[in-house]
Amino acid sequence: MFRDLYNQMVEVAASVEATEMAVFSIASGPAGLDLKSVLHVRPDEASDEQRAAAVAAFRDIVRQCVVQGKDGAIQVGNAPDAAGRHQFCLVTLTRKETQVIGVAAFIVRRRNLDEARVALARVKGAGS
């Protein structure tokens, strides 16, 4: 099952040229919203500390979308790259009936928010 999830998420990430991705399961507990890291893919030689920091940053970003019950395209960096593309985090929620049970997030580079929203629509379509 994990291999299937991994393969599906890598395929979705490739379809939007994501440089990094994270997947979380969602549960409500006594301490509130619990976002459990299920998968984090980052194709570099990052240390365990860097990876843990990245997962924590993803968790902070996706929490906003989960609380609001909305998918989102969120700009996460201020400076564009040499090609003029900004960094965005594409967040898409997974539901079972009306309950949000999971969330996936993908880091992409796009020129503007409109392009990021097009990529988000592609992510949502791939997950259907």
- What the chain holds in terms of domains, given with CATH numbers, is 2-126 (3.30.450.80)
Q: How confident is the prediction for the chain on average, in pLDDT?
A: 91
Q: Residue 122's closest CA among 13, 10, 7?
A: 13
Question: How do residues 66-96 score in pLDDT, each as one tens digit?
Answer: 999 999 999 998 889 999 999 999 999 999 9
Is this prediction's pTM over 0.85? yes
* Mean pLDDT on 7-19: 92
